[in-house]
Chain A
Amino acid sequence: MRLEKCWFCSSTVYPGHGIQFVRNDAKVFRFCRSKCHKNFKMKRNPRKVKWTKAYRRLHGKDMTQDSTFEFERKRNRPERYDRNLAENTLKAIKKIAKVREDRAAGHHAFRMKGKKAKKQREEAKELEQGITLVKAPSVLQEEPSLTLPKIKVKVSHQESQENRAMEE
């Protein structure tokens, strides 16, 4: 009894589930459920279908290369049974799975981190370059900080005079 991988979405196919399709050239396609099977019959490329593992790996959403993947490899020659080896293997499987999970989480976190530093750098640059649009160079020389200048509101005498003339 073996757990197989679905050809389309790469999820595990447990015994009693799914469909196996054998093509005329003797290539076997295993599907975990009819959704994948029908997509296959529609000739869709799993690398272009967003929810499949193939897409996610190809577009860097999920971890692709890692040493934990080397542990799980289909071996064609069976090993002679050794109780100790079996025990160790069973324990190791759990540990390897944990390591793999952690690494995948790290990959995800890195991906979601965002372009904070980049953004900050860009903003700083923009600010430095564009400060002249809002602050006169002479003012900038006096006050070299990259902030808006303090606006001095000057009350003009002529204006007050005019008003008085109208009040008459």
Chain B
Amino acid sequence: MVQYNFKKITVVPSATDFINIILSRTQRQTPTVVHKGYAISRLRQFYMRKVKYTQQNFHDKLSTIIEEFPRLDDIHPFYGDLLHVLYNKDHYKLALGAINTARNQIGKVAKDYVKLLKYGDSLYRCKSLKVAALGRMCTLVKKLSGSLAYLEQIRQHMARLPSIDPNTRTLLICGYPNVGKSSFMNKITRADVDVQPYAFTTKSLFVGHTDYKYLRYQVIDTPGILDRPFEDRNIIEMCSITALAHLRSAVLFFLDISGSCGYSIAQQAALFHSIKSLFMNKPLMIVCNKTDLQPLEGLSEGDMKLVMEMKAEAMKTVIGQGGEATDDEGVLLTMSTLTEDGVMAVKNAACGRLLNQRVEIKMKSKKINDCLNRFHVAIPKPRDQKERPACIPQAVLEARAQQAAEKEKRKTERDLEDENGGAGVYSASLKKNYILANEEWKEDILPEILDGHNVADFIDPDILMRLEELEREEGMRQVEDDEDFEMDGKDLTPEEQEALAAIRKKKSMLIQQHRVKKSTAESRPTVPRKFDKSREFTTKRMGRQLSSLGLDPSLAIERARSRSRGRKRERSPERGDAMDVDTDESNKKLRTRSRSRSRSMSRPPTEFVPGAGFKDSEQKVKAIKLAKKSVKKRNKNARRGEADRVIPTLKPKHLFSGKRSIGKTDRR
């Protein structure tokens, strides 16, 4: 069964496009560079190649066109006729013929010019020959422009033709316009045919598929046919006529008995009779549609008579196929596509009749005999009259019975849910089937969280025991705690605390002094101090210190005093009259000093103190002056000492920024 599919024909380009394609291809695919200095054979070869290449391309393309378009004589007569009806056979053949001619002529042109090129003697001459050759080829194709355009149109239309298999089981629906053919088609197949109240809604053949007894049936919907002489029919009607004529199918003639299509039953009957010749050898059915508007029984006498005539005609076809004469059930049927009443019955009847017919034909043909011996249904002949039913063991039968009973008895959760209000209302109790020690506990609610702890972490079968242990421990610990508390310790008495404070103070003083000494160790002179400049070592001091330690200092003071010479002399102005003469001046001084002894007086800096490091007071004065001089400059610069080289601002802004009012800023 060849599926006629005209969709695979390549696009036919228009003449100008065609020329452009070929020429540009020649330009691209052949070498382009040539100079007049080349050898002559090379030049000739160059141009010959171009000419041949172009000719070859033209030939190829035109051949594809010719081959792909179907030859009307070689395809099924249905398609042949259909194409003829649509496109006019002669026109079609002429177009293809023109293309063929052009192809041959191009070949000739190319041959001629190649011959001439063999004797071309210069680049210019070869080139002109090539130009002429290509030009003539293109002119030939330009003449084809009409044909090419026409073929392109046909190709586009052919691609949209429905793919009808002429050899398979087919139901053909025909009748006047608007009787309900397309609605019926929509009902039995998945085809979505336009159904409109105006006539000639369907303008071409439509194919749908339906199933009957596991076989696929093609259903073809045709445009409506009017009752006109054959010659006057337009293309659309001719389509349906062609289909009727060529397709070996069952024919369903639709009759609108209500007359709402705009044509009376008489007109429809007239049509029927005019095309009944086309119904030869085809199972014919009369289908009365739109019974919802007008039931068959309610028809008038005349109309009924006409219908019966048509039925009679249809019966003839039944008889012609070898069916029973009384089988008039499958000949005249009523239905309504609007209410879908009887639609399936019509389809089944039509399919059934067609199937029977095809089977009969197959059976009668010679080919069947080859097939018949390939299948054979073996039926064992009964040996005797004994009944031998299937043997099923008793246990299995019982089990089956039990299962069946169970299925009915068991109440499922879903049933329960439905009873109690449906999905949104009832929530199944998940705790129903819990296995617990006590049935009462099933509905218990246990908190998951208590006081910031997860209850599940604490659950333990021996928690009681452990808790008891814990409490015991806790009891013991508390007893221990109480005992521990008595260990207070001895505090220090206030006097002792005083003593401790004094000790600490003294210690810190010692440490401080040592630190001061250490830090000034470098700058301290290592000259021994023979004389007590800062008056540290006085008896008073000694006395104070000793008494603070708790000792009696008087003895020590006396001993210290007795040892010091200077003191003795100074302290006794009444004694020593003999010494008056020698120490007159000194006594005077001493006396003045002693008088002012009640007022404290520091030594003048220029005074010469023996043992302090100077020879005499002059040297000391000079030294002091030098010292002052060296310090003066530093003091003026606010420097703390020799080593003080601190610069408070390293980069003062006024020195490092700003423009000069006069001069350059080369340096900063």
Answer yes or no: are A and B bound together in one complex.
yes
Which chain A residues (127-141) contact chain B, with CB distance < 8 Å?
A: 127, 130-131, 133-136, 138-139
Over the window 129-168 of chain A, the binary record of Cβ atoms lying under 8 Å from chain B Cβ atoms (1 yes, 0 no) is: 0110111101100000111111111101000000000100
Whether A58 sits at the interface, judged by CB under 8 Å, is no
Contact check, B496 vs A106: say whether CB atoms are below 8 A apart. no
Whether B39 sits at the interface, judged by CB under 8 Å, is no
Contact check, A120 vs B491: say whether CB atoms are below 8 A apart. yes
| Cα–Cα, bound, A89→B467 (Å) | 10
Residues of chain A contacted by B481 (CB below 8 angstroms): 106
Residues of chain A contacted by B438 (CB below 8 angstroms): 83
Whether B551 sits at the interface, judged by CB under 8 Å, is yes
Which chain A residues (81-96) contact chain B, with CB distance < 8 Å?
A: 81-83, 85-86, 88-90, 92-96
Contact check, A81 vs B436: say whether CB atoms are below 8 A apart. yes
A-B contact count (CB 8 A): 165
Contact check, B489 vs A116: say whether CB atoms are below 8 A apart. yes
Contact (A85, B463) CB under 8 Å given A1-B448, A3-B449, A154-B554: yes
Residues of chain B contacted by A3 (CB below 8 angstroms): 449, 452-454
Residues of chain A contacted by B500 (CB below 8 angstroms): 123, 126-127, 130
CB B457 to nearest CB in A, in angstroms, measures: 5
Contact check, B458 vs A139: say whether CB atoms are below 8 A apart. no
Residues of chain A contacted by B546 (CB below 8 angstroms): 136
Contact check, A139 vs B499: say whether CB atoms are below 8 A apart. no
Whether B550 sits at the interface, judged by CB under 8 Å, is yes
Contact check, A131 vs B474: say whether CB atoms are below 8 A apart. no
**Listed stretches B285-293, B501-509, B647-655; interface member:** B501-509
CB B455 to nearest CB in A, in angstroms, measures: 6
Whether B593 sits at the interface, judged by CB under 8 Å, is no
Contact (A82, B437) CB under 8 Å given A92-B463, A148-B498, A151-B548: yes
| Cα–Cα, bound, A46→B489 (Å) | 40
| Cα–Cα, bound, A83→B436 (Å) | 10
Total contacting residues, chain B, CB less than 8 A: 62
Whether B487 sits at the interface, judged by CB under 8 Å, is yes
Whether B389 sits at the interface, judged by CB under 8 Å, is no
Total contacting residues, chain A, CB less than 8 A: 59
Contact (A134, B549) CB under 8 Å given A99-B474, A166-B598: yes
Whether A80 sits at the interface, judged by CB under 8 Å, is yes
Contact check, A134 vs B446: say whether CB atoms are below 8 A apart. no
Whether B553 sits at the interface, judged by CB under 8 Å, is yes
Contact check, B454 vs A139: say whether CB atoms are below 8 A apart. no
| Cα–Cα, bound, A149→B552 (Å) | 11
Whether B461 sits at the interface, judged by CB under 8 Å, is yes
Whether A27 sits at the interface, judged by CB under 8 Å, is no
Whether A75 sits at the interface, judged by CB under 8 Å, is yes
Among residues of A, the one whose C-beta sits closest to the C-beta of B473 is: A67
| Cα–Cα, bound, A12→B554 (Å) | 79
Whether B522 sits at the interface, judged by CB under 8 Å, is no
Q: List 10 A-B residue pairs with CB atoms under 8 Å apart, sorted by A's residue number.
A: A3-B453, A71-B458, A86-B446, A96-B467, A99-B470, A102-B474, A106-B477, A117-B489, A148-B498, A154-B554
Interface residues of B, Cβ cutoff 8 Å to A: 434-438, 440-441, 444, 446-461, 463-464, 466-467, 470-471, 473-474, 477, 481, 487, 489-493, 495-496, 498-500, 502-504, 506-507, 546-554, 557, 597-598
